[in-house]
Amino acid sequence: MSTPRTSPPAADRRTLIADTAIDLVASAGLRGLTHRAVDGAAGLPAGSTSYYFRTRTALIGACYARLAELDLGDVGDFGDSHDIGDIGASGGDGPPPPGPAPVPADRESAAAALAGLVHRWLTVGRARQLARFELSLEAARNPELEADFHRAGQGARARASGILAALGARRPEEAADLLVAWTDGLLYDRLAGALARSRPAPDLTELTAVTRRMLDAVLAGS
């Protein structure tokens, strides 16, 4: 006797919907983000996305939450492998509270970790970051989303602040805001800027030099 098929848990289905929505935004922009399109791309029965996220605003909020979760997961991976905590840019709604960040050995290890993170986001994480930029503009236009987007960015900044404090920043929160802004600017320039298509593939050595200069600047000014 065959075992009856069971539906995936609601949490898994919500994650599938958010991941699919992010992919759709990356490939087609916000114009491609509809409940019906998410159902089709995710292979879900019609009406599934609207069941979990009744409005388009709720669906976009789910994208913010998932982007924050994935980005913080990336920085956690690099923290484990480079003896440094989480530095990066993130957008989303309600990411898990950041835990204590490992103390970096020195600026060189911090720069290497941040460069590795940026390199990942420019390569295997490229589509996700494009979606994040697209969705951030929606938050700027929609007051219903603004608070969610703002709240989501606090996790990355809190972790960056802790790391910069360990590196000697006197005003680590200000330094973290600047570092996150510069990281976002670097990502945008390489992914969607005027010269993005003509630039060579991201080079880890070059990115490490850039991130070291960024760290030196924020620490000197803080």
Q: What is the pLDDT of residue 122?
A: 95
CA pair distance 216, 214, nearest whole angstrom: 5
pLDDT tens readout for residues 95-104: 444 455 555 6
Q: What is the pLDDT of residue 102?
A: 58
Q: What is the pLDDT of residue 83?
A: 39
Residue 164 DSSP symbol: H
pLDDT tens readout for residues 103-117: 567 899 999 999 999
Q: What is the pLDDT of residue 119?
A: 95
Average the pLDDT over 3-30 and give the result.
84
3-state SS assignment for residue 156: helix
CA pair distance 186, 46, nearest whole angstrom: 39
Average the pLDDT over 201-220 and give the result.
94
Mean residue pLDDT of the chain comes to: 83
Q: What is the pLDDT of residue 59?
A: 96
Q: What CA–CA distances, in Å, run from 166 to 66, 85, 102, 140, 215? A: 29, 10, 9, 33, 12
What CA dihedral angle connects 163, 166, 169 and 170, to 10 degrees?
Answer: 120
Average the pLDDT over 17-32 and give the result.
96
Radius of gyration for the alpha carbons in the chain, expressed in angstroms and rounded: 19
Extract the tokens encoding 170. Answer: 């006197």
Q: Residue 10: is its pLDDT beyond 90? A: no
Q: What is the pLDDT of residue 176?
A: 92
CA pair distance 62, 136, nearest whole angstrom: 13
Average the pLDDT over 40-61 and give the result.
96
Of 76 and 188, the one with more pLDDT: 188
Q: Residue 53: is its pLDDT beyond 50? A: yes
Q: What is the pLDDT of residue 123?
A: 94
How confident is residue 163, by pLDDT bands cut at 50, 70 and 90? confident
Asked if 163 and 104 touch (Cβ cutoff 8 Å), the reply is: yes
pLDDT tens readout for residues 72-88: 777 665 444 443 333 33
